[in-house]
Amino acid sequence: MDMSETELMLRGYGLTTAEFFYRMPDYQSVLNSFVWQDYDIAPDHPKLFGFVEFWQREIDGPLHSVRFTHRKLIGPGEWQNVVGEFTLH
C-alpha cells in the first residue's frame, strides 16, 4: 500500500533532490543534466542509491557526477491534528 506524502514525512522521510551529470553516449564531450526528486530517508538514501544503480545498469549515458540535497519538511513533533477552525473578520 502506498503512503501519502504526509505519512512519509511523519515517518522521517524528507525530500531528496539529485542532479545527475552524464555524458551523451555518441558525444562523450557533451555533458547533460537530469534532475531526480523523491521522498527518501537520510542518511542511507536507499531510493537515491537504488536509482543510481538502475542508471548504471540500464542507461547508456555514463554518469559523470551526482550532487544531491535532502530536506526534512516536517517531523512527528511538528505536526498537530487541528479539530476546529475560527474565522476572524
Give tens-digit pLDDT for 26-68: 998 999 999 999 999 988 999 999 999 999 999 999 999 999 9
> What order do you get walking across the sheet with 31-40 strand by strand?
31-40, 14-23, 63-71
User: Residue 40's CB: how many other CB atoms inside 10 A?
Assistant: 22
| pTM of the complete model beyond 0.85 | no
User: Residue 19's CB: how many other CB atoms inside 10 A?
Assistant: 14
Question: Is residue 76 over pLDDT 60?
Answer: no
> CB–CB of 75/41 below 8 Å?
no
The most distant pair of C-alpha atoms in the chain lies apart, rounded to whole Å, by 64
At 8, the pLDDT band (50, 70, 90 cuts) reads: confident
Question: Is residue 80 over pLDDT 90?
Answer: no
